[in-house]
Amino acid sequence: MEFRKAVEADLDIIKGLYEGSFPVEERRPWDDFAARALDGNPYFNVSVAQKDGRIVGFISTWRLPTALYVEHFAVDSAMRGQGIGGEMIDRLVASTTLPLILEVEHPDNEMARRRIDFYRRHGFSVVEEVDYVPPPYGRNLPEVPMLLMSTRALEDVDTDIRLLHQIVYNQ
């Protein structure tokens, strides 16, 4: 499998994965996502995974001063269960000395529990000391309570959340 930075020609495929994998309240508007993916923002990166020349997944990250935040991560539904997502996450973990953090739904349903278990198998733990609600991506979208997960203990959770909200959510 090959991993590389996303380019403009990848955006239609990424958009399909993005919109097919995340409910509207858990994604930034597509035009904003696409513009950030291409504008050379030093904090934001979108990478794709390719298998046999076909994009099978993507991951978007934000480089914060204290952590690498995984904003969105998706694998083509037809390719799930083949280890692609695990390899993507493992490579991302290995690529940085920073802790990785991400938001995940509360374990209120089987799919959310499976997602949390997946991240645990790849070195993440729930950040227990915080009740976390990220800012909504749009004015008319609801707040969605989430769990924060990290690959290692965070030195200052409040600072990490403040930086996350400032840099990623413009809050």
Q: What is the mean pLDDT of residues 150-166?
A: 93
Q: What is the pTM of this model?
A: 0.94
Amino acid of residue 21: S
Q: What is the mean pLDDT of the chain?
A: 94
Give CA–CA dist 79/63, Å, rounded.
28
The number of C-alpha atoms within 13 Å of 21 and in the hemisphere containing its C-beta is 21
Query: Where do the domains of the chain lie, and which CATH numbers do they carry?
Result: 2-167 (3.40.630.30)
pLDDT digits (tens, 9 = 90+) for 71-102: 999 999 888 888 999 999 999 999 999 999 99
pLDDT digits (tens, 9 = 90+) for 43-67: 999 999 999 999 999 999 999 999 9
State the pLDDT confidence band at 170, using cuts at 50, 70 and 90.
confident
The number of C-alpha atoms within 13 Å of 60 and in the hemisphere containing its C-beta is 23
In this model, does residue 171 exceed pLDDT 90? no
Amino acid of residue 57: G
Q: What is the mean pLDDT of residues 148-153?
A: 95
